[in-house]
Structure 1
Amino acid sequence: MKERFDYGQNPDKTEGGELISSYGCDHMTADAEFLLSKAKYKAVTGREQRRDADVLCYQIRQSFKPGEITPEEANHIGYETAMRWTKGKYAFFVATHTDKAHIHNHIYYNSTSLDCTRKFRDFIGSGRAVRRLSDRICLENDLSVITNPKLHSKGRFLHYGAWLGTERQPPYKEQLRLAINEALAKRPADFDDFLRLMEASGFTVKHGRGGVISFLVPGQERATRLRATTLGDGYDPEDIKAVIAGERPLPEQPVPAPAAPRRVNLIVDIQERLRSGKGAAHARWAKVYNLKQMAAALQFMQEQNITEYDQLSAKAENAVSRFHTLTEQLRRTEADLSVTSELMGAVVRYAKTRPVFDGYKATKYSRKYLAEHEAELADYRAAKATMGELLGGEKLPKMAELKEKRRQLAAQKKALYTEYRSAQEEMRQAVAVKANIDHLLGVTDGQRKKEQER
Structure 2
Amino acid sequence: MAATRLIAMHQNAGKSIGQCLSARLDYVTDEEKTRKRNEDEEEEKSKYITSYACNAAIAKEEFMDSRNEYIRITGRQYEGDIIAYQIRQSFKPGEVTPEEANAIGYETAMRFTRGQHQFVCCTHVDKEHIHNHIVYNSVNLHCDKKFRDSWFCGIGLRTLSDMICLEHGLSVIEPYKHKGKKPVYQKSYRQDIRDVINKILAEKPKDFESFISELKKAGFEIKEGKHLAIKSPGRKNFVRFDSLGKDYSAEALKAKFEGSEISKDSRKGKPFDLLIDIQEKIRQGKGKGYINWSQKFNNKAMMKTLLYLNDKGIRSYAELKDKADTSSASFKKITDNLKAVEGRIDKLSNLRKHILAFSKTKAVFEEYKKKRYSKAFFEAHREEITKYRAAKKAFNEYGQKLPTVKEINKEIGGLMQEKKALYKEYYLKRDDNKSLQEAKRNVEMFLQMDNKEADKQKQRIQPVR
TM-score (norm 2): 0.37
TM-score (norm 1): 0.38
Larger Rg over CA atoms: 1
